């Protein structure tokens, strides 16, 4: 059911410093910062040959990233995103197998303008999983 790895998201305490490190130290193709107010994050996308890295920083007061950074002040891997062809079919399959979908359970429009869902990390080996319809 899952296809490619779409991105790995890393929460960072200093977005400028992290973007500069990927650009200057690692020599990656780093995009400009983008605000995603609906998700409470400011993001920088890094395009690799086979996937993307999404640097996440809190935006606003209720950011879901703030608590993560409070527990992981140096930053850390926040979630991984797998592509699916049909997000509603994927959701039904997961629910039927007892996995928990976060939030309302309805897909939201993610940072790439495509529908996304998040799955409970306790159901997936301690890893927050995002599914993105492509």
Contacts with Co ion, residue ranges (CB under 5 A):
9, 81, 130
Rg of the chain taking only CA atoms, in angstroms:
15
Give the residue with the Cβ less far from Co ion, 27 or 62.
62
- Annotated catalytic residue, options 16, 29, 106, 130: 130
Distance CA 106, CA 109 (A): 10
Distance CA 111, CA 117 (A): 12
Give the residue with the Cβ less far from Co ion, 15 or 81.
81
CB of 81 to Co ion, least distance (A): 5
CB of 130 to Co ion, least distance (A): 5
Give the residue with the Cβ less far from Co ion, 59 or 81.
81
Is residue 16 annotated as part of the catalytic site, yes or no? no
- CA distances to 10, 64, 121 from 44, in Å: 10, 16, 23
CB of 9 to Co ion, least distance (A): 4
Distance CA 2, CA 131 (A): 8
Residues that are catalytic = 130
């Amino acid at each position: 059911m899952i296809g490619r790895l779409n991105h790995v998201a890393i929460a960072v305490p200093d977005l400028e410093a992290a973007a500069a490190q990927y650009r200057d130290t690692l020599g990656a193709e780093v995009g400009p910062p983008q605000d995603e107010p609906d998700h409470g994050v400011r993001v920088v996308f890094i395009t690799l040959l086979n996937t993307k890295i999404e640097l996440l920083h809190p935006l606003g007061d209720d950011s879901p990233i703030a608590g993560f950074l409070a527990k992981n002040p140096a930053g850390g891997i926040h979630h991984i995103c797998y592509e699916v062809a049909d997000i509603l079919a994927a959701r039904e399959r997961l629910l039927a197998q007892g996995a928990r979908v976060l939030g309302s359970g309805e897909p939201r429009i993610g940072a790439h303008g495509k529908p996304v869902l998040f799955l409970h990390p306790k159901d997936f080996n301690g890893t927050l999983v995002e599914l993105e319809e492509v």
